[in-house]
């Protein structure tokens, strides 16, 4: 499963970087314009930020910590590093998916 997830991640990033994208259009996707922001756009932004991926990450990571016997405060730094790296990679993957979709 880890190999398949890794292949998916790499494939999406390679696909996003191979597209011929205008930088001006890309900034429109990532930098919101308050004059053009509607209520529906804000709803979609919230959906993208905290959808199924974010929820499942929190649930699965909690179970994984328990199964790994990381029960003491000595593992707090390790868990924090895991979460930072995981959230960074999730954000990178999400941005690549937005680029491909747009």
Biggest distance spanned by C-alpha atoms of the chain: 50
Answer for the pair 78, 70: CB distance below 8 angstroms, yes or no: yes
pLDDT at 82: 83
Cα distance between residue 83 and residue 88, in whole Å: 8
Q: Which two tokens stand for residue 62?
A: 């909690």
**pLDDT tens digit string along 26-77?**
666 666 666 666 666 667 766 766 665 666 666 777 777 888 888 888 888 8
Q: Which of the four pLDDT bands, split at 50, 70 and 90, describes residue 84?
A: confident
pLDDT at 30: 63
Cα distance between residue 46 and residue 32, in whole Å: 13
Q: For the beta carbon of residue 52, count every other beta carbon within 10 angstroms.
A: 8
Q: Which of the four pLDDT bands, split at 50, 70 and 90, describes residue 91?
A: confident
pLDDT at 7: 93
């Amino acid at each position: 499963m880890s190999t398949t997830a890794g292949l998916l991640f790499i494939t999406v990033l390679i696909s996003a970087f191979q597209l011929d994208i205008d930088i001006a259009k890309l900034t429109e996707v990532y930098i919101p314009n308050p004059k053009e922001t509607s209520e529906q756009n804000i709803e979609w932004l919230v959906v993208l930020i905290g959808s199924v991926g974010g929820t499942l990450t929190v649930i699965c990571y909690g179970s994984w910590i328990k199964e790994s016997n990381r029960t003491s405060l000595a593992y707090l730094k390790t868990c924090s590093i895991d979460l930072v790296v995981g959230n960074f990679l999730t954000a990178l993957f999400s941005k690549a998916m937005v680029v491909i979709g747009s």
